[in-house]
Each structure stands twice: as C-alpha cells, then as structure tokens.
Structure 1
Amino acid sequence: MTYKSILTAVLFSTAFNLLKAQSPVSYVNPFIGATTSSDITGNGLGKTFPGATTPYGLVQVSPNTITGGDNGSGYSYEHTSIEGFAFTQMSGVGWYGDLGNFLVMPATGKLNTSAGKISAPNEGYRSLFSKKTESAKAGYYAVTLDKYNIRAEMTAAPHSGILRFIFPGHSDSRIQIDLARRVGGTSTLQQVKVVDDHTIEGWMKCTPDGGGWGNGDGKADYTIYFYAQFSKPLKNYGVWSADIPEGWTRKLEDVTSEKYQQVIANARILPGVSEKQGKHLGFYTSFATKPNEQVLLKAGISLVSVEGARLNLETEIPGWDFDNVHLAAKRLWNDALSKITVQGGSKTQKTIFYTALYHTMIDPRIVSDVDGKYSGGDGKSHLQAHFQKRSIFSGWDVFRSQMPLQTIINPALVNDMINSLVNLAVEKKAGYLERWEFLNAYSGCMLGNPAVSMIADAYAKKIRNFDIPKAYQLCISTAKEFDNGKEGYTYSDNGIAKTLEYAYADWCIAQLANGLHHHADYLKYKEKSANYRNTFDPEKKWFRPRLKDGTWETWPVEGRLTQSYGCMESNPYQQGWFVPHDVDGMAELMGGKEKAVADLDSMFIKTPESMIWNNYYNHANEPVHHVPFLFNRLGAPWLTQKWTREIIDHAYANSVEGLVGNEDVGQMSAWYVLAASGIHPVCPGDTRQELTSPIFDKVSFKLDRRYARGKTFSITAMHNSAKNKYIQSARLNGKSLNKCYIDFEDIAAGGRLELVMGPVPSKKWGIRN
C-alpha cells in the first residue's frame, strides 16, 4: 500500500479502528531509553529520541535539547529546555552523533540567532518547558514552551513532517529555522530561497570539517535538501547570517566554544532577503497572532535534490490536515507492529515489547525519494525500482539480533540493505563492504565483517533477491581487506576481538561458498575459520592477545576481566565466548562442556542484578548478546531459560532508563523482541534458532509470503508465568520435539510451536543436539 493510499484510507476510517486500546501501536512509549545520561559506572544509557517518525522513515521530527557532547540523539530526558525541533535524528548511537538538521523553533518577541546554553536557557531562543506538558506516542510528539507560551505538536510521514504551533496573542510571533545546526557540530554551508509567499527551499551541506558523526572521524559527508511551506503567508521575513571567519575550524569543540557562540549570537539579521548562501544561516518569518491561533509548518526532506524534497512533500502531505497526517502515521505504525502479536503478559511487558519492536523499525531507514531516486556513493543521483535504498547500518551491533529479527518479519528490508551495501561498494569502487555505513560514508567504525554475516544469513534463509555473484565477490574481497593475515591471528589493537570476529566471518564465507558450489573457497575459508584457536593460551586457559612475533602480550593483574585487553568495548572474559560457528571446539579448548557451562554460569551469577555495565555478563553492550543461548549448545538449556528471563526482567523497563545500554540502532531492542518471544540465534549464517523461555502465553509472527511458505508462525507457552519459566516439553506442529532449537525453515513454513512450562528445570528436555 502506498503512503498516498494510506492517507486516503485514513480519511474514511474511524479513530476507534486505528487507535483501539488493544492495538500494538497503543503500547508504544517513545520515552523508553530517551536519555543520554550515564549509569553509576559512567556508561551511557539508551540514547533514543522521543519525536515523531514512521517505520524506517527518512524524517524524524523530534525535540532537541543539546548540540554538544556525546549525545547522539540530540535529546536527553533530564534536560529542562529545548532548542528546537529537528527533522532528522539518529537513534541510540554511542559515538558523537549526527543529523539534527533543519531545526525549527516557534518564538515571540526579540529574534535571537543563537540557541543559548542549557545552563542559561533564557539567553537564546531555547525555551524551558515543564515535563508535565510533554507527550510522546508513535508518530506524535507535543510540548509547551514556557518561554513563549506556545504549544508545539509534530507528526511525520516517511519523507516529510508537519508541525502545528498554537500561539498566544502577540504582535511579534515568529517561526525561525536554524539551517546550520547539527547534533555533532554544524553544517558547513547552507542556502535558502523564498519561492513564493508560503514556501522556502534550500539545502544544508554537512561535511567532516563540521564535526558530526564521530566529530568528523566518521567521515559523514551529506547534503540535506528541504522544501518547506508555512500556513501563514510570508510577509515579514528574512535571514540571519553569522560571519564565520576564514580559517576557523568547525568541529564540535569549536562550534560549542564561547568564541564561536558569540559570533552566532551577533549574526547579521537581514530583513527581506529572499535568497542567501552562507556558512551559518537561519531563516525567520514574523507575524501577529491572536490568542490560541494555529500556525503550521510542513517540510519535505531529500538527500538527492530540492526537487526531490518538493515531490516528497507534495506526495505525502498535500494539504494542512495535521490530524490526518498523525492518523496516517499511526496506521503505518500499527500495520508494522502487527507483524508480531502477543497474548498474555502484563501491560508493562507489552509496553516494553512493542516499544522495543518500534525501536527496531527506525533503522535502516529508507533514503530514496518517493520516485525511487537516491544519492549514491559516487555522489550522483541514481534511480532504482528493484529495491529501496537504505542507510544507517550499524553492522557490528545489528548482525547479532536486529538483522536476524528482520529475516523473520521483514525479509524485504534485509534484501534492501544487502542491495544498498553492494551497490554502495560498486559506486564507491571500494572493493569491500562497509561495516558501519552512514549516509554513504565509510566510517570504519568498530570491527569485524558484519555485512558478510548478514549476507550469509540471508542466503541460508533463502532471502536472495540481490546480485548474489557480486555480493559473494565482495564478501571475498572484504575478507582479504580485513582478516587475520598470514599469521592466522590479528596482533594490532583489539587482537582477541578481531581474531575471533574475522574467524567467524571466514566461516560465513565458507557457508556461502558451499551453497554456491565454490569448493576450493569453501575449504579455504573453513580452514581459516579455525583461526580463533590461535589466540587461545593453553597456559592461562583463555583467549589472550598476541604480539606480531607470536609471543603473548603481558598478562594483566586483573587477568581476563581487564577491560580493553585485546578487546573492543569488552574484556577477554566477555569477548572470549564469541566462537558462534564452533561452540564445540570452543568448549574443548576450555576444558570440555561441563567446565564451560560452570564458567558461563558463574559469569551470570556474578553479574549485578541491575545489569549495569560490568565485567561479567554485560548486556549493556553487544559482544555478549549471544552468550545466554550458549547453554543450549553446551547441553544445559534450562540455564538459557533461567538467564534470559533474568535479563528480560532486569535489563529492560518501562521507563526513561529502561535500556541498560545504548539502543545501538535497534540491536538492544531486537534482542528483547526475540528473547521475549522464545527464540534467538547463536550464529547468524546457521539456520538453527535456539529456544528459550517466552514471557507471553502466545506470540505470533506474520510471515511475508514472498519469502515464506506459511502465513504465520506461533509460539504458545502453556502454564506460563514468572515462576513457571522452565520448558518441560515441546511439540512442533503436533509432533513431540525434544530439541532446544528449531530450524529457520520451521518458522518460514508456518505452523505452531507449543511449550509446556513449569517451575523447576527439566534436565531431560532439549539436551539432544
């Protein structure tokens, strides 16, 4: 169904049918995780945003409370002032963020050209607000700005957004747009043009020189094009322009400095100027308002062209019916969230579940326009009719849970993402697949070859609507670019993590090669996949980084609990369990399955109940996300059931602090969706799906008939409760199942899995491999 047809359908539907109390969309709480504050260990929490968006939409109209610092979403709940409402946001990222473009602020009185500081909100155009006036739902956000006594509401369509402001009576009311603003710095060049008495258009160029993703280290280089219209005619309008001196650096620390902010605060105000290009521009339109007068602004956004932005807006929001656009957004969310339905469980559990599912549906976002055009890695406009171009692939995070979840409920998205990465590599002539892609930027962030994992997993699950030969060759060339070298291990920084993850990626290539009948490649990469053994020290009985000459790095005082000792954002105890493709071989190194189970169980026993960042099972970060399911592989499935329930109960909550770690572009939430449903993979690329203890009485997955033989797959848990968390027996489509796993084909075929739950572990069920 096209967005236009949805918009039309909403006109003839009732609010009851869209918003009935039991619909999935009614459970979404966008404030879950919406804080960038730190836990007591100093590590950041969810970093989500509460604003209005649509499933995988290009536009997110959201409040922004901060420009500086490690605040990727631009918003943090504990802040008490807002500097404006931007049309683009990132979700849950832990690095210095980006986007936050096209910052709109309604105001009255004196025109301020600088937002001002959080510590002094009355000095600029930012405004204090009361938390009591703040409201967020799927596709909607609202707040009252105390400084101006203006009520601000916003909603979104996939490529556009609309804001409704309710003004007080005032002779000098205004809507102003900061065109330079960017979460992690500044756009470096902007242009704005008045088209007619209701319309402006222009663009904002964002380069690494202006900070942004990783404060420039993420290499983000994109241009946001806009086409915006006002419901009130443009009569008294103009621009402001800050004269940024030649030679000034413009990274985040520069832009947020007192010197730079003074230049912005003293920007030249140019009334009546209808077209301007500059380094730091803003646009404003002033008008008189009556008490409670509504003034609206709507804008289309494009990464391709101004014409694309115009077409996006005219297609999606042709009129000024804010409430209808809001209902259309609700409809989109309800349809998307209905891909999984749950029965049983508490209202709180459903809220956490559907908000988690909501967070998995923000990225990878669609970045092609409504006509199929997108901006390629070569900087040119391309037209694609066979897939939707997607971006923001947080590979190292999402290959573990987020992309496997999508293979079940949204396989077309997986095809889109693979096509997008393959085409990007061709357009950039890079010869390899990016591991953390952001708007065509090769950020080089994190490690491993996660795109290889995603491709191998998709192929194994018969999701194959992409150029398979080209994807395969890119997997091979990626492994040549990033692998364990002739030594069979990586001796640079993060040597343990890289050695283990490259070995896993080699295994993924071996599976692809085998499926494509490339026998020589299969043997080669299967052998390379055993390289994880080269970083295991039999004396220490654990994984340990090596130096280039083959000797071991000095063993630290804290041993395998030492953070960053050969590891990325983890310690060897946590990272060492990452041998998903050869759990039996890993256990053999550790002294056998019995010892591995005891060591793994001890890890969970020593984990703080709060699940905050720690040296044991650290759910706040991705390297351990498969670990609870290893018990299934090691012959103790009741421990998988026990510990996944503990994680579900303590690492997630219906609160602003409800994510124990960064959301990481859907990964943290996808883990919850899968685990709470009762399934999760250990090894993407292998079709085996581990079973665990679901928290709901019944979970049903709606399947895509273009990729699956069945219509739905359901998991029913009989006698289920907080106490009855252990699986006693199981039946798959009416036949007894004495294995603690099923195959992905069992899901794709449709059918039902029935679990009988009880209060004590069953140490006989599920131990047959």
Structure 2
Amino acid sequence: MKYRIIACAAVLGLLSACGSRHEPDKAAGRQEPAPAEYVNPLIGASTSTGKAGVYHGLGKTFPGATTPYGLVQVSPNTITGGDNGSGYSFEHTSIEGFAFTQMSGVGWYGDLGNLLVMPAAGPLRTARGQEGVAGSGYRSGYSKKDEKASAGYYAATLTDYGIRAEMTAAPHSGMLRFTFPQNEKSCVQIDLARRVGGTSTRQYVQVVNDHTIRGWMQCTPEGGGWGNGDGHAEYTVYFYAQFSKPFKKLGAWKADIPKNWKRKREDVESRRYQEQVAKAAVLDSVTELEGDHIGVFAEYNTEKNDQILFKSGISFVSMDGARKNLEKEISSWDFDGLHRQAVALWNQALSAMTIAGGSDEEKRIFYTALYHTMIDPRMFADADGSFTGGDGKVHTSADYTRRTIFSGWDVFRSQFPLQSIIHPRLVNDVVSSLLSLADERKKTYLERWEMLNAYSGCMIGNPALSVIADANAKGIARFDKEKALQYAVQTSNQFGNGERGYTVEPFGISNTLEYAYTEWCTATLARSLGKTDVAAVFEKRGQSYRNIFDPEKGWFRPKDKSGNWQSWPDGGRLKQWYGSIEANAYQQGWFVPQDIPGMVALMGGPEKVASDLTTFFEKVPENMMWNDYYNHANEPVHHVPFLFNHVGKPWLTQKWTRAICRRAYHNSVEGLVGNEDVGQMSAWYVLAASGLYQVCPGNSRFEITSPVFEEVTVRLDPDFATGKQFTIIAHGNSPANLYIQRAKLNGKAYDKCYLDYKDISAGGTLELTMGPEPNQQFGD
C-alpha cells in the first residue's frame, strides 16, 4: 500500500511542478512544447561497429515504448545475434517481432527480449529466418520512412505483410495495435523461446479463454543471455495476455531440440539450430503446452484495415502477478488513451528539469538524454509491491521499491550523482535493493553489476560503495547505514587492494585505482558513523594508488605479485589494455577522485598536469569516436574535463565540456559516440549541459562549468531537500560566449568554481555572466 501511496504522491507533486513549464511563451506568442515532445528514442539506437570504429559499437539504445523506470519495454527487435544488447539496431533491414522486455545501451551480448509478438499473413513460419531473405522466416522487412518513435510510442510498417504495428506501455504492462490488410490467413504469433543473446530454455503456455493466454519463459545461463551465460542471469518472465478479438483456436509449434545440443548464443544463431526450429511440429489447437522451444499463434480472417490489439501484463513473480498487473493498468482496449497516459507519465518525470535557451536541436538532445536516464534502475516489483528475491522466494517491502539493472561500473560516475539531485528516493531504493539481495543470497559482498537478482561479476571495482558513500555524504541516505557499512567493509576486504596495497593482473592499474577510491568511500562512511578504527584502516587503503605510480615513467604502472614493475610497452601509456580495462594507462591513470591534490603532486604539479591534460584533449578526433586520448565513448575518462578546475584553469573545463556536448552528442541515430550504458552516457550530458558535475561521489563537491542553456531549473524533492528548486542562469550565453566571467549565488558575488550539494539542495539561484574570452581570475 505504501508503494502506491508514494507513487500517487510523486505523481501529484510532479503534476504541480509541471504547472510553470507550460505557461505560454509570451514573446513568441505560442505554447512551449511539453518535455516529452522533445524526446527522440532513436538517438543512439545503433550497434554499428563499422561506424563506431571499434567492437563496442555505438549507443545500443532501444526505440520502443516504455514508462519512467518501468518494468516493461515494448520494442522492435531486429536481430537476435551478435553483441546487440538492446535487441534493435537501426541499420538492420528487418524486424523479428516486438518484445516486452529490453535492456538499454549494454554490450556483453545483452539479455531479455522476452515475449516476442509478431503479426503475419500467409503460411505459418516457426523460425525467424535470415535477414534479407524474404519468406525465410517470420521476420519482415520494414519501412524506414514511416518508422515512428517518441516517448511512450513506437510504430513501423512491416512491408512483407503490409501490416502497421504500433505499441505503447504502462509500468508493468504493454499494448500492441496491428492494422492488417485483407487476408484469409492473418495471425498474431508469439515466439516464447526468444531471448536476446540466446534463448529461454523452458516455456509454458495455457489457454484461459477464447481471447486470453498465460504462461512463462524460464531463462538460465545455459541459454546464453547476459554475457552469453557468464553473467549468471537466471530468471522467469511470466505473462498474462489478451487478444482484442477472440480466436477460434490457438495453434502452437514445438521444436525438437536434441538434449545434447548446447543453447548458448552462437548455438542458437547457427544454421543447424534454426533449421531445427523451422521444421518444428505444428499443432492446430492447444489448451496447454510446455517445452524447450515453443511458440503459439492465433489465426484470423482479416478485412482491409482490420485492427487486432494485443496486451499483456508482465511479472517476474507469477502468472497471477502478471494478471493483476494487467488488470490494474490496462482495463480496456483504448490504445490511444493508454498512449496519452504514457506521455503524461513522461511529462511528469521529465519536468524534474526545465530548460530555456539553446537550440531546438540541443533541447531534443537534452530531454532525450534525461529520458534515457529514466529507463533504469527499473522497477522489479509488481504493482502490489511483491517481488522475487535472490533466494527465489516472494517478498514485499513497505520501505522501498525493489529495483534492478544496476550497471555499477558505469553509473556511479554520473547517473547516480544526477539521481541524487532529481530522484533521491531512487538512490535509496537501489541501495536497499542491493543490501537486501546480498542478505537473500547469503553473500558477504555487494554486487558490482546486478541484473534480475544475478551477481554477474561484470566489469571491475566496487561501485555500490560509491553510491552508498555519496548518499550518506549528501544527507539523503534512508537505508540501513550500519548494514551498509558492514557490507562495505566485507566487500572492500574481499575485493580490494588489501595488505599488499595494490592489485595485480589482469587489470592492475584499473583495479588498484578503483579499489583505492571505493576503500576511501568505505572510510568516509565509517567515519560518519563514528567507527574511527575502521575509518583509519580504509583511509590508508584509499592512498594505495600511490603504490603503483612509477616516478621514472611519471605515470601509473602495474606490478606483479612480487612487487616488480611489469614491462613498459613500446606504446607506453597509450597501449590499450595495458593494466587497464577497456582503456589505456593514459586514460585510466586520471582516476584518483578521492585525492586529486595528491595525484597532481605525484604527476609533477598543477602546471605540468594542466599541460598534459591539454595534450590529452587536443589530440582527440573531431567526432570524438573511440580513440587513445580523451575517449568519451567509455566511462573511465568522464570526470577528466573537470580536473582543470582543480589545477587552477577552470576556463579549460568550460571550454572542453562545451566542446564535448557539441561534438559527442547529436539528435541522430548515431548521436552517442559510445554505449549508453544504462543511463551513464546521457547523465553526463544532462549534468554538464546544466553546468554541474561531480568528480568524486562521496565528496559532495560539484564542479561548475559552462552550461549549454541560458537557464536550467531543477525541481527538488521536499522529502530530501530544504529548497524547492535550484536554478542556473547563464546571462549572455551562446556558442561564442562560453566562458564564465563572474558568478553570483543567491544574489551575492561567488568566486569559486564549485558548489556543495547542500548549496543545491537548499534551493536558490546560481547566476553566471558569460563572455567570449576566458576570465582567468574566476574560480582560481
């Protein structure tokens, strides 16, 4: 009940906050568009490795319909194979179907993509077929010219069948609307085995009545998925689905997959496997069916422009939970009304930030970026608050909303600092979810990349400790701090630099630096709770970055187990993967956020560091695609532009953040230079374009930089902040006037290049006067 009360209160608060957003623009004599009108979900919706110039591909976002932090994402899926985590890529020429669950901006082969629904006409095909080979399967080409994607809506025309497909969503459910041509053998078919990056390994379906089915899809590591099974994702998706027109019969297909066949990604993609599915046994009518690779279909005789709608509730708890979710959220067949509700939810959520000034293009980039930060961490609980815990049991919580998809290594850097301002309740939900998951799974540590209760072990470091320490430092923590400290200590002891004082291969630089940071995070939490002895231990460990700095090379260098330096490569610190994950030593070496003065001293002092940083940026290609210098396409460097603020040259922070906003973000399919990574890439833009950034979560300092817009207002949560809103005004701002000349905070002269979080949460106004040349005295 508390979950629903909180949700309703939040909606009411958001609605009231929207009031000023839609006042008429008197100067222009028109109404300012609502925030959702600026959203373009196709930004970043590409996995093209060719255009990215690296195996990581581009943004990997999905273009389909969802709601803020919703459990359901109804989206087109263009291909199953490859490192195609979102299930969709704009350059693909055909659609396999429309699934009810997706991931946003991830690599590692992805997961979800469950309950794949496809309208078709003509002979039944049980396999998806080959891209570009018409009639080889149920996939269809689709028309790019009339593909539509907006907040809460997606539509495309399937050219092989002449069918228009539209979709919209509610938080735990979704609806599809198919407009058919005249055909005596039209159908709506559902591939229950479908899963991005592999296959579900067991499926079940039951006919409830002449327009309703229910069932489940069990996904295990043996079926690939997250990390092609290495991510340990194991979950069951339950559905309760209805057709708007009764079916005379529900048919099914059942493929005979030999028990000795492996079912990882590469196996499912193989010609052998797909041929086996293509010759699946077809059953004209079923009332109940279970198998290893099954699908169902409802046949119809359609006239031109006949519409058949399909809606389903989704649950990770039970079929009954899916039914309750559907009945609570979608009680009718009013597709357009449901679409309007989804748009209203997005307008409510996006009104957390309002902007003025800037170009139409920049507004679209900004609000789409904010939209992408509101996909995850998604709700994992049903509408009634029940969820499946890490112990496999059903739980409920009155204290927090259970959430999932914590892309830790990515999102601790920008996504959670942003959420701490606009949605602090979500930060607490995530921490409570991670703490509870550790309890349920009887783990001694907190997971770094959680997905649907899985301890995936993806990437490195202990990012959950960053989120915990940051919430605590900002005074917004509403979770069990004593339990959090217990797990922080255990996590740091199990995965940290320990008594040796550094970490060895395979990523000796990356791990040592990131562990040193999160050991410092543990120390700050311990000291705030009066645990001075614990704090002293981890404060010392927070300095362990010093143990891998080689004075001879003037840079960080990995060591072996005996304490000897590893060989210095011919490429020096530009050598990719040298002691570093998805980076080189030059990129990774700047990561000492907890002690920037100490790092600068090791590197030779402020002037030398400023010179090195300048080289780091000036050698970046104009398009800012993957490179050996400031590589915005990947997370380790995201804080680096703001280091100029710490070496007495804040005008260079202003110069380079404006350049990154202009060169690395665009209103296009290729508008993200790297993977979206579950909100991180977009959160960086939202913060930097607003004129703020937090280099060191756990230290409540926010850097001031040059905003893209003339005015940005952040609505504050009254349960966590004393102020109502915080506004940044940039007088005279323009592409040419990008340098801060002077500043005022709440009407008083302000000469620092940073703010404290408490300055933001107290509400007020930061006024910046902009000009075309640097003022080297400001913020020095």
TM-score for both structures, normalised by structure 1? 0.98
| Residue identity opposite 2:138 in structure 1 | Y
Structure 1 residues 423, 141: closer, same or farther in 2, change over 3 A? same
**Which of residues 43, 46, 53 is equivalent to 1:41?**
53
Deviations 1:686-714 (A, max 9, x none): 00000000010000000000000000000
Q: Does 1:30 align with 2:41?
A: yes
Q: Does 1:256 align with 2:274?
A: no
User: In the alignment, which residue of structure 2 is the partner of 1:647?
Assistant: 660
Q: Does 1:79 align with 2:67?
A: no
User: In the alignment, which residue of structure 2 is the partner of 1:151?
Assistant: 164
Q: Cα offset for 1:467?
A: 1.1
- Counting matched residue pairs gives 762
Counterpart-to-counterpart distance in 2, 1:433 and 1:61: 31
User: In the alignment, which residue of structure 2 is the partner of 1:504?
Assistant: 517
User: In the alignment, which residue of structure 2 is the partner of 1:465?
Assistant: 478
Counterpart-to-counterpart distance in 2, 1:520 and 1:385: 35
User: In the alignment, which residue of structure 2 is the partner of 1:139?
Assistant: 152
DSSP-derived class of the 2:741 partner: strand
Counterpart-to-counterpart distance in 2, 1:45 and 1:282: 32
**Which of residues 278, 282, 293 is equivalent to 2:306?**
293
Counterpart-to-counterpart distance in 2, 1:375 and 1:751: 42
Counterpart-to-counterpart distance in 2, 1:31 and 1:20: 25
Q: Does 1:414 align with 2:427?
A: yes
Counterpart-to-counterpart distance in 2, 1:437 and 1:156: 24
| Residue identity opposite 1:23 in structure 2 | A
Q: Does 1:306 align with 2:319?
A: yes
Counterpart-to-counterpart distance in 1, 2:31 and 2:132: 42
Q: Does 1:706 align with 2:719?
A: yes
Q: Cα offset for 1:20?
A: 6.5
Counterpart-to-counterpart distance in 2, 1:592 and 1:384: 51
1:197-596 equivalences in 2 (<5 Å): 197-596=210-609
| Residue identity opposite 2:659 in structure 1 | E
| Residue identity opposite 1:663 in structure 2 | E
DSSP-derived class of the 1:255 partner: helix
| Residue identity opposite 2:77 in structure 1 | N
Pick which of 38-47 and 338-347 moved more: 38-47
Q: Cα offset for 1:124?
A: 0.4
Deviations 1:211-249 (A, max 9, x none): 000100010000000000001102132111001111111
Q: Cα offset for 1:41?
A: 2.2
Deviations 1:253-276 (A, max 9, x none): 100111110110000111111100
User: In the alignment, which residue of structure 1 is the partner of 2:135?
Assistant: 122
Counterpart-to-counterpart distance in 1, 2:408 and 2:31: 36
| Residue identity opposite 2:235 in structure 1 | Y
Q: Cα offset for 1:609?
A: 1.3
Q: Does 1:724 align with 2:737?
A: yes
DSSP-derived class of the 1:132 partner: coil
Deviations 1:18-73 (A, max 9, x none): 99751111000000000000235224100000000000000000000000000000
Counterpart-to-counterpart distance in 2, 1:137 and 1:619: 26
Q: Cα offset for 1:121?
A: 3.9
Q: Cα offset for 1:135?
A: 0.3
Q: Cα offset for 1:291?
A: 1.1
| Residue identity opposite 2:316 in structure 1 | L
Q: Cα offset for 1:463?
A: 1.4
Q: Cα offset for 1:491?
A: 1.0
DSSP-derived class of the 1:437 partner: strand
Deviations 1:409-430 (A, max 9, x none): 0000000000000000000000
**Which of residues 618, 627, 650 is equivalent to 1:614?**
627
Q: Cα offset for 1:180?
A: 0.2
DSSP-derived class of the 1:171 partner: strand
CA RMSD of aligned residues (A): 1.7
1:68, 1:183 within 8 Å by CA — same for their partners in 2? yes
DSSP-derived class of the 1:307 partner: helix
Deviations 1:287-331 (A, max 9, x none): 111110111000000000001000000000011100110000000
Counterpart-to-counterpart distance in 2, 1:196 and 1:17: 49
1:4, 1:315 within 8 Å by CA — same for their partners in 2? no
1:158-197 equivalences in 2 (<5 Å): 158-197=171-210
| Residue identity opposite 2:241 in structure 1 | A
1:4, 1:316 within 8 Å by CA — same for their partners in 2? no
Q: Cα offset for 1:510?
A: 1.1
DSSP-derived class of the 1:707 partner: coil
Pick which of 441-450 and 20-29 moved more: 20-29
Q: Cα offset for 1:513?
A: 1.0
1:33, 1:45 within 8 Å by CA — same for their partners in 2? yes
Counterpart-to-counterpart distance in 2, 1:624 and 1:395: 16
TM-score for both structures, normalised by structure 2? 0.96
**Which of residues 624, 639, 662 is equivalent to 1:626?**
639
1:47-66 equivalences in 2 (<5 Å): 47-66=60-79
Structure 1 residues 317, 20: closer, same or farther in 2, change over 3 A? farther
1:47, 1:71 within 8 Å by CA — same for their partners in 2? yes
Deviations 1:609-634 (A, max 9, x none): 11010000000000000000011111
Counterpart-to-counterpart distance in 2, 1:33 and 1:270: 41
DSSP-derived class of the 2:426 partner: helix
Counterpart-to-counterpart distance in 2, 1:207 and 1:229: 27
| Residue identity opposite 2:38 in structure 1 | Y
Structure 1 residues 175, 17: closer, same or farther in 2, change over 3 A? farther
Deviations 1:137-156 (A, max 9, x none): 00000011111111100000
Counterpart-to-counterpart distance in 1, 2:98 and 2:74: 6
DSSP-derived class of the 2:523 partner: helix
List structure 1 runs of 4+ shifted beyond 2 angstroms.
Answer: 1-7, 16-21, 39-43
| Residue identity opposite 2:335 in structure 1 | F
| Residue identity opposite 2:725 in structure 1 | T
Counterpart-to-counterpart distance in 1, 2:8 and 2:507: 49
Deviations 1:403-449 (A, max 9, x none): 00000000000000000000000000001100000000001010111
| Residue identity opposite 2:120 in structure 1 | A
Counterpart-to-counterpart distance in 2, 1:121 and 1:502: 52
Counterpart-to-counterpart distance in 1, 2:484 and 2:491: 10
DSSP-derived class of the 1:177 partner: strand
DSSP-derived class of the 1:350 partner: helix
DSSP-derived class of the 1:203 partner: strand
DSSP-derived class of the 2:512 partner: helix
Counterpart-to-counterpart distance in 2, 1:328 and 1:566: 49
Q: Which runs of 5+ in 1 are unaligned?
A: none
| Residue identity opposite 1:498 in structure 2 | N
Deviations 1:185-207 (A, max 9, x none): 00000000001111000000000
Pick which of 464-473 and 574-583 moved more: 464-473
How many percent of aligned residue pairs carry the same amino acid?
A: 62
| Residue identity opposite 2:213 in structure 1 | I
| Residue identity opposite 2:268 in structure 1 | V
1:20, 1:26 within 8 Å by CA — same for their partners in 2? no
